Chains A and B, each alone.
Chain A
Amino acid sequence: MSATHTDAIATCWSCGAAADAGHFCPKCGTIQRLPRGTDHFRFLGLPRKLWIEMGELEQKFHQLSWKLHPDHFVRATEEERELSLERSSQLNDAYRVLRDPVARVEYLLAIEGMRKEGATKQQAPPELLEEVFELNEWLDELRGARAAQQDGAETAGLRKRLEDAARGFEERLADVDAQLMAAAKEWDATVDSGDAAAGRVVLARMNEILNRRSYIRNLVRGVTQELSQ
């Protein structure tokens, strides 16, 4: 959902009093409608920053769960029940996404319009090209041996090489994650300074890092799957 669809809500649907951005009407206490396109940061009253204190996030999640959960609205009007369902599901979605550092970055890129869902590039990052090429050759060799029913003692060495390669790629993942966290810090700094142009640059870099990350993960998964057969 893009930000253009956000329609701010000016008054409480129930009593007509001026509304603030809270979950409940400041005057009558009725659960409020949710403006379309409210993102998870705004929903939780958080700045759009990547460093989130986990203890605080959990506490916020619990506090809001008490207030918004459908358990409280069994006897309420149909509209209130629906609003409880809508708000409590977004609360759960927000908590699920924001507590995971990588999912958090992906989400930020999505709401900033920098990442299309399911449009991750399948091209190998240039610095990995050579190794990936070699890995694919070994995998072909293994598949060939299996097809010829010679996947036993003959392929022990090949399997060992593949395992080592997969482990090497897994170590790369740790590097990639470190790069991502460094970029996340930079992003937060641009939010604080209000430098939107610098922010776009950081977002683009994070997008690239994420693509590399998912490429390596898929690679490792593919090798593990092939080895387990």
Chain B
Amino acid sequence: MGRTVGIDLGTTNSLVAFFDAATGQPRCITGPHGSALCPSVVSLDPDGTLVVGEPARRRLLTQPERSIYSVKRLMGRGLDDAREELKLFPFRVDPDSKQVIRVRLGDRVFTPPEISSYILRELKSWAENFFGEPVDRAVITVPAYFNDAQRQATRDAGRLAGLEVLRLVNEPTAAALAYGLHKSQRGLVAVYDLGGGTFDISVLKLISTGEGDIYQVLSTNGDTHLGGDDIDNALLAVSREEISARHRVSLEGHPESVQELRKALVAAKHALSGGESAAVRVLLPGGAAYTREWTRQELEALIAPIVERTMSPVRQALADAHQKPQAMEEVVLVGGATRTPLVRRRVEEYFGRAPHTGLNPDEVVALGAAVQADILEGGASQRGMLLLDVTPLSLGIETMGGVVAQIIPRNSTIPASAQDAFTTGVDNQTGIVVHVLQGERELAQDCRSLARFTLRVPPLPAGMARIEVKFLIDASGILQVEARDQRSGEKHSIEVQPSYGLNDAEIERMLEESIEFAEEDFATRQLIEARNEGESILAATHKALAGEAARALGASQRAGIAEAVEALREAMKGSDYKLIRTRIEDLNRDTGPLAEAMMNQVLHATVEGKKLTEV
């Protein structure tokens, strides 16, 4: 069995962390580029190589049509409910997309869970390199306000990456775990989490009991389409308008320039968190330069409506927890976007206290995930920590007239369950259709459809068949359904077809493909290694042939080496790593006498200075 890690699969950046038993603290793992932040960007090179993280982020500028960022915004969503995102983000959606969106990278088509799985795989390899051991289990965080479909999509991504997902943990709750460990505060705590693409607010009660500390979530609320990305888009809209007015240039059809501009604006946005003004300068298609000075005041005027949008979920969460803002003993800020001074001021104004900013807002969620992973590995009592989370949205079933009957209210502690009995309405009816929904609205059409399934019953007079259905939301916030014949007590198997998710068969197929893909990855790595080795042996041979020892070689030996060198060069032009290996071995054999001559020479030189008895 391999190691277990905690993963923050973020909209903009993703991180992997583990619980360091030596220090008793969680710790983030740094990647090959020297940072613990892995940009959540995936790019597909023309030769079919998938690139993830920092190198993929650079490719956003060079090959935007082969690269994708912020894919988290598409997780668990259908084409219809992602229209808004598609207007704002350069996703290249495959026209054949049905319930599950498919995006194009170059000439290949991927689902959002697949793209996310490449990010997870990258983090998995960071951790494996760090431990020198395989990693096969993970706790992955999700926005607290993620619905069932978005959670399932995240779990699917984990599975596709070869990880057993032990638990999905809500991001603000994970942050609270890391916070609680860091500071032994007890009482009411609000976590305000504004990330790249999602906003969450959670109200928790931290309780000390005889067995240990309980982190009980009282309520949660949020907006899964609100984050730092929206600030970037607002800046981008202003700049594009100015560019078209001032320079008469449209960036339509110039995705590279759009990415260049976005990057410059993001840098300016970051600079304005500390400084009062920041300059943007970008070269436009056609050669003109767009320059723009931003002041913090201007930025704040632009983003005030975005910050204000976070307040309505905040108010709702406090109302659901039956708490007043002043009752919070601490307000913890999480997510890169909470570095924005305006956000901090607004939070302070609302809660009437300065927020806690002692934790690194980028890392805290991953650290909390690592703590939860450790709890699961060792048992909550052993760690003395227990997390009691809630379901963010009410669960209901459709009844007559399209009205939703709520069966599990929002903010119920999970696992939570509900039972309902179903019967037939007409004689000899053999199926009862059950439609499960998530949301707070009264009509089914306004809620999120989770699943539809048919209960099979034997033909009987109306009302005679009675099927009892148990709906259970597990500790990851994912729905399970079980049906039972009320008289016989027999369990029914139910095929739940997710409304907006991948079914098991699709996941199986993707898993198979990903294994094939992993083999392709393996072949690519082998090829690179073989070529590198070829390069160094060619260089060494060249050097040796120019040296003293080469004089000892006969003409036929020289000719043999020259021939082997040529053959290796030829093989290295191709992509057959096995052939390259064979040619390397051939050359090694042919240069054997040369190596021997060199060895003798060295030995000779050493022995010369000494008496024979000393050798």
A: residues with CB less than 8 A from B are 1, 5, 36, 62-63, 65-66, 69-72, 74, 85-86, 88-90, 92-93, 95-96, 117-118
Contacts and interface: CB of A to CB of B under 8 A. Distances in A.
A72 B386 CA distance: 10
B381 A70 contact: no
B593 interface: no
B386 A88 contact: no
Contact of B386 (A1, A5, A65, A74): A65
Contacts of B414: 89, 92
25 contacts: A1-B419, A5-B486, A62-B207, A63-B209, A65-B214, A66-B212, A66-B214, A66-B386, A69-B380, A69-B386, A70-B474, A71-B376, A71-B387, A72-B380, A85-B472, A88-B475, A89-B417, A89-B472, A89-B473, A93-B412, A93-B416, A93-B417, A96-B409, A117-B420, A118-B405
B13 interface: no
A89 B415 contact: yes
Given A65-B214, A65-B388, A66-B381, A90 B417 contact: yes
B375 interface: yes
Contacts, number: 71
Nearest to B408: A93
A96 B473 CA distance: 15
B412 A92 contact: yes
A72 B379 contact: yes
Contacts of A118: 399, 405
Contacts of A90: 417
A168 B214 CA distance: 42
B30 to A, nearest CB: 28
Interface string B364-392: 00000000000111011100001110000
B362 interface: no
Contacts of A70: 415, 474-475
A66 B472 contact: no
A29 to B, nearest CB: 13
B480 to A, nearest CB: 8
B468 A72 contact: no
B413 interface: yes
Given A66-B380, A72-B379, A95 B214 contact: no
Contacts of A65: 214, 386, 388
A86 B470 CA distance: 10
A71 B375 CA distance: 7
B211 interface: yes
Given A71-B379, A96-B413, A118-B405, A66 B211 contact: yes
Nearest to A58: B207
Given A66-B211, A85-B474, A71 B386 contact: yes
Interface residues of B, number: 34
A70 B212 CA distance: 16
Contacts of A5: 486, 489
B211 A92 contact: no
Given A65-B388, A85-B472, A72 B413 contact: no
Interface in B565-594: none
Contacts of B377: 74
B123 interface: no
Interface of B: 166, 207, 209, 211-212, 214, 375-377, 379-381, 386-388, 399, 405, 409, 412-420, 468, 472-475, 486, 489
Given A85-B472, A89-B417, A96-B409, 16 more contacts: A5-B486, A65-B214, A66-B381, A70-B474, A71-B376, A71-B380, A71-B387, A71-B475, A72-B379, A89-B416, A90-B417, A92-B412, A93-B417, A93-B418, A96-B412, A117-B420
Nearest to B388: A65
A117 to B, nearest CB: 8
Max chain A C-beta neighbours (<10 A), residue from B386, B415, B473: B415
A63 B409 CA distance: 24
A5 B484 CA distance: 13
A92 B413 contact: yes
B393 to A, nearest CB: 15
Contacts of A92: 412-416
A1 B414 CA distance: 21
A158 B598 CA distance: 108
A199 B405 CA distance: 30
B415 A66 contact: no
A129 to B, nearest CB: 26
Nearest to B405: A118
Contacts of A96: 409, 412-413, 416
A197 to B, nearest CB: 29
A65 B386 CA distance: 8
Given A69-B386, A72-B379, A93-B417, A62 B412 contact: no
Nearest to B377: A74
Contacts of A89: 414-417, 472-473
A95 B415 CA distance: 12
Contact of A74 (B376, B418, B419): B376
Nearest to A85: B415
Contacts of B214: 62, 65-66
A74 B476 CA distance: 13
Nearest to A92: B413
A62 B385 CA distance: 12
B379 to A, nearest CB: 5
A7 to B, nearest CB: 9
B413 A95 contact: yes
Contacts of A72: 379-381
B204 to A, nearest CB: 14
B375 to A, nearest CB: 6
A88 B415 contact: yes
Contacts of A1: 419, 468
A95 B279 CA distance: 56
Q: Which 9 pairs between the two chains have the least Cβ-Cβ distance? A: A89-B415, A89-B417, A92-B413, A71-B380, A66-B211, A74-B376, A70-B475, A72-B379, A92-B416
Residue from B417, B473, B474 with most neighbouring chain A CB atoms (10 Å): B417
- Most chain A CB within 10 A, of B375, B379, B472, is at B379
A66 B386 CA distance: 7
A118 B418 CA distance: 14
A44 to B, nearest CB: 14
B426 to A, nearest CB: 20
A22 B64 CA distance: 61
A211 B479 CA distance: 32
A70 B415 CA distance: 8
Nearest to B418: A93
Contacts of B399: 118
A71 B373 CA distance: 10
A74 B376 CA distance: 6
Nearest to B379: A72
A86 B214 CA distance: 20
Most buried by B among A69, A117, A118: A69
Most buried by A among B377, B380, B420: B380
